[in-house]
Structures are given as C-alpha cells and as structure tokens.
Structure 1
C-alpha cells in the first residue's frame, strides 16, 4: 500500500457513534440542534491538532469500517462509496479519501491495527493521526503503540504519531496524545465556554 506523507486513520463506527452522542447530549444541554459534521472541516481541525499547518500538504484519509457500514449519517458527505477515491482541497492541502472495509476479512480492530503498522513501517509517512474506536479496541492500539514505539531505536519516530482519544490513557503511550473532542466540538459550533 502506498502512503502519503500525512495519514489520518479513522474508525468510521467510532466517528458515527461519537458524533451521534455529542449531538444528542450536548444539543439537549445547549438547547439547540447541532449540525451534521462537515467532514473536510473536521479533518482540517484534526490535522491542525496533529501539527500540520497551511500549505500544499497531501493528506491521505483512510476510513476503516465493517462490511455492514455504508455511510456516516451524521457527517456531510455521508456516503462512503461516494467518498472512496475522492479528494478535496482546503487551506491545509489536499485530503484524499479511501474507504477500507474489513468485510469478509478480519475484525475492524485488526484491520485498523494492521494499517497502523503498515503506516508506521512506511518511510513515506511523516505524520500519522490515529482515531480508533476507543470503547471497543483502544487498549489493543495502545498496546501495539507501546510495542512498536517503545523500543529505543523507534523513540524518535514516536513524535510523528498523534493518537486522538476520548480520555487520557491510563498507561503512558510513547507518542503524542490529544482529545478528539476539541476538533469535533469546534466543527459542531460548540464554544469552549459552553462545555464548562
């Protein structure tokens, strides 16, 4: 598999469940209907959180999903088939979308971890942003990151990996960690003071 310099690996089920929960819970709390997520805008905020800056960046977005998932109902665009092979340009650069299905192969968690390993082993990848399905398999991702990046010779590579999660990890991970909630809240129009 050929990778770009910048790769964002996203579990589609996680994104769908998280956006649905945020829209339901915070929409009720704030007393307003929250919009669907503008996918390119969210990915731009996520990429900024990962350290990218405006320019001519090539950003490969791998959307990992199970065979039963065909859409992101709370995002725009929503149809995974229509997104596959499509690119869009923002001030950060070009986002190129690919959907990767685990249908008939392994579990989504195994596919996510396999893709993560391939990207970590690729000399082309300079920035790898990971957005796994925390509730179901984040422990596996964290364990693999500790195995891969905890080795002495891999220490300098840890800075190129940004692991986005819901809550701080219980055990340290040898890479940059950040909350996925900041970028999602921003794209949903939720101000920081509204979360206090």
Structure 2
C-alpha cells in the first residue's frame, strides 16, 4: 500500500447530491469503508464534478502524486463506486462514477419517501413549529425527451447548490437539518394499447 499523504487537501468539496451518475448504493461494510478515506472522498468529489478523471488530472487538481491517485482510483473501482470510462490511451485511463441501475434508484427513492416521510408524520408534532410543515408540489408538463432531461438538469443544479453541506458541516446554518429532496420525472404512457405510442 502506498504511503499516505501528509496533508489533506482543503479545496472546496464539489459533491453534487443529484449528479447525473448517482453514487452506487453501498451494500456492504467494506464498500462503505472505502469511502471514508480522505483521498478517495476527494477523488469522488472530483469525478462527480467533471464526469471523468484520469489519475494525472486528479493529481494535478488535488495536489497528490499520480501514483497515489491511481491506487485509490483502482480501490474505488474494486468496491464498485467507479468504472473505466473507455477511451484509454496507453496508461492514461479515464474513470467515471458507476451508474446505478434504475431499479435501485427507484427503490432507494421509495425507501426515503416511505420511511422518512412516515417518520416525519409521526414525529412532526414534537418538532419546533418551523419544522412542522413540508413543501410538496406536482404538475403535468408536456415535454420532449430533450426537455425532460433539461428540466432534470435544472433541478439538479438547484439542489447541488447545497450539496457541499453534506460533507462540510461548517457550511450549514445553525438551524439546518437533513431534508429529503425527491424529484421524479417520467412520461405518462397511454393505458390503451391502441393509443398512439410516444415518439422514440
């Protein structure tokens, strides 16, 4: 195992909570432990912000050696958090976040909504007055596939403004609490098989 760096990079975290390639759900203790290392956390932040990163790019951005970054990138891949992005040139290998299956994302969202929301309903009378209300809204939009992705990107952009607070508690207001933010955009497909199908 390579020597650990003598400093932890102080650069501002770039973690977007709702990145396009969501973090894989941690399903075992070893995979969870892999995320606790400061270099690996910084690498994940960087990949989320940029999309793809090589060990050389990570070294330049984070101030560590290329060899150290390469080692920790491989460890993140080993535990299923990232994967090769393709387009390798010799020893230059770009990495990206591993895409979580849509079914897993849906299950995770339902768990957050069902368990977290029901718990809030049970306990909200015990909360301070300012935390006894939630914000909920819904609508039906007529969108093209490209517009659907555009709306999703805009929602992510708003949420990402507050994402650093997850890993940087010092950025949170004194009265901040964890808040579940769930957004789901999906086409309302016709129920009659004879109806016109949406354009592909």
- TMscore range, shorter length: under 0.3
**Bigger share in strand:** 1
User: TM-score, normalising length from structure 1?
Assistant: 0.26
Q: Which protein is bigger by CA-based radius of gyration?
A: 2
